[in-house]
């Protein structure tokens, strides 16, 4: 079923606007004619400088901020700001930012009668899909502090839905890649580009991914669709890929030859655990697959970029910054 859409242009507050996903969301909103208020730590941390964009300096989100007067001047909020890629000893900081700040923003949005699109994570369901793809109504089973904080944040927002009528949409993406990607995906890009032999030829897992501009497009669709209010959606590029296929596709996009060596995945995981990299290796060998048919059917959403196009654009950025 296709949804009805909001035709008028909006003033949208974007938290985490200077981040990897946030910059793409701001660009897409501006390209669509919307006005954007970019919540950033300082006006120098984002490279966006366009008509229709206003910087709002909020400093450290974990500090006490009164969001009520801020959201009074907007039509909707996209909440992206979060702490990720941290170790367990940072759990207090993770929960302060990912849960307490989310609750404060949600309460202000509810009081003002505005809309909130909250970007959560597939990690609320766990780090591995063992019995087929995850669906939106599957049980929560987070395995790290980040996933647990996203579960807690979603719970806080749903309490506001029931208590205050918060107009909420939740998106749960898998691994996001694209220009300016960091962390493990960037490390994989470097390894493939360097021509390192990788013992991953026998890995036949299924991992869902999403190109950053596809995620930004899904966020925009949720903002513009009335039917998205009250819904939670998983979202991805399309069919999941194995790690071996991903490496081959990356090598082709980078203009490199593929150097994959056959090796039993089970032994890889044992070796990874012995050197303290067990979690990293399991991300390469295990499956994390989602079913995003709900957003496609209910909102009529289709990713504007294919998996191959997303990798090509990511590779072009990587090669340019490497040079």
pLDDT tens sequence across 95-146: 999 999 999 999 999 999 999 999 999 999 999 999 999 999 999 999 999 9
CA atoms of 164 and 79, how far apart (whole Å): 18
Check pLDDT > 80 for residue 157.
yes
> What CATH number is associated with residue 72?
3.40.50.720
| Residue 150 included in any domain | yes
| Residue 198 included in any domain | no
Q: How many domains does the chain have?
A: 1
CA atoms of 283 and 94, how far apart (whole Å): 21
Give the confidence band of 44 by pLDDT, cuts at 50, 70, 90: low
List Cα–Cα distances, 37 to 27, 120, 197, 213, in angstroms: 12, 21, 46, 19
Sequence-separated (6 or more) residues with CB below 8 Å from residue 314:
177, 178, 179, 181, 189, 211, 253
CA atoms of 185 and 268, how far apart (whole Å): 19
Could you please report the per-residue DSSP string of 129-145?
-SSS-B-TTSPP---SH
| Residue 31 included in any domain | yes
| Residue 4 included in any domain | no
Candidates 146, 177, 305, 318; catalytic one:
146
| Residue 127 included in any domain | yes
| Residue 154 included in any domain | yes
Residue 109 token pair: 């949005």
CA–CA–CA angle 264, 268, 271 (5° rounding): 140
Query: What per-residue confidence (pLDDT) applies to 8?
Result: 80
| Residue 107 included in any domain | yes
The whole model's pTM is what? 0.94
CA atoms of 195 and 293, how far apart (whole Å): 37
Query: What per-residue confidence (pLDDT) applies to 46?
Result: 55
Residue 25 token pair: 């969301």
Query: What per-residue confidence (pLDDT) applies to 252?
Result: 96
Q: What is the mean pLDDT of residues 194-203?
A: 95
Assign 307 to helix, strand or coil: helix
Cβ contact 318:254 at 8 Å:
yes
CA atoms of 170 and 293, how far apart (whole Å): 15
Is 146 one of the catalytic residues?
yes
- For 111, the domain range is 11-177+209-237+289-304
Give the confidence band of 38 by pLDDT, cuts at 50, 70, 90: very high
Q: Point out the least confidently predicted range of 147-161, 167-181, 258-272.
A: 258-272
| Residue 322 included in any domain | no
Q: Calculate the CA dihedral of residues 152, 20, 224, 310 and round it to 10 degrees.
A: -120
């Amino acid at each position: 079923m296709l949804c009805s859409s909001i035709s008028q242009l909006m003033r949208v507050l974007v938290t985490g606007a200077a981040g990897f996903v946030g910059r793409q969301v701001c660009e897409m909103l501006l390209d669509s004619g919307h006005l954007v208020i970019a919540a950033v730590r300082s006006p120098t941390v984002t490279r966006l400088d366009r008509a229709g964009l206003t910087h709002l300096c909020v400093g450290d989100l974990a500090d006490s901020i009164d969001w009520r007067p801020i959201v009074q001047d907007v039509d909707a909020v996209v909440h992206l700001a979060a702490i990720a890629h941290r170790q367990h000893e940072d759990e207090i900081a993770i929960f302060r930012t990912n849960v307490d700040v989310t609750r404060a923003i949600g309460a202000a949005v509810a009081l003002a009668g505005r809309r909130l699109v909250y970007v959560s994570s597939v990690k609320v369901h766990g780090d591995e899909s063992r019995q087929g793809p995850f669906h939106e109504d599957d049980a929560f089973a987070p395995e790290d502090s980040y996933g647990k904080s996203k579960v807690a944040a979603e719970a806080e927002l749903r309490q506001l839905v029931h208590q205050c009528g918060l107009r909420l949409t939740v998106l749960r993406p898998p691994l996001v890649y694209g220009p300016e990607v960091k962390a493990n995906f960037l490390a994989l890009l470097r390894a493939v580009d360097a021509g390192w032999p990788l013992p991953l030829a026998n890995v036949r897992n299924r991992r869902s991914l999403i190109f950053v501009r596809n995620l930004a497009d899904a966020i925009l669709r949720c903002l513009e669709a009335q039917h998205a209010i009250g819904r939670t959606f998983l979202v991805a590029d399309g069919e999941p890929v194995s790690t071996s296929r991903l490496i081959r596709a990356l090598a082709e996009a980078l203009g490199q030859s593929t150097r994959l060596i056959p090796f039993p995945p089970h032994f890889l995981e044992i070796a990874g655990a012995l050197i303290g990299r067990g979690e990293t290796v399991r991300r390469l060998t295990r499956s994390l697959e989602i079913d995003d048919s709900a957003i496609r059917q209910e909102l009529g959403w289709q990713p504007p970029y294919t998996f191959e196009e997303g990798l090509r654009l990511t590779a072009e950025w990587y090669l340019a910054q490497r040079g």
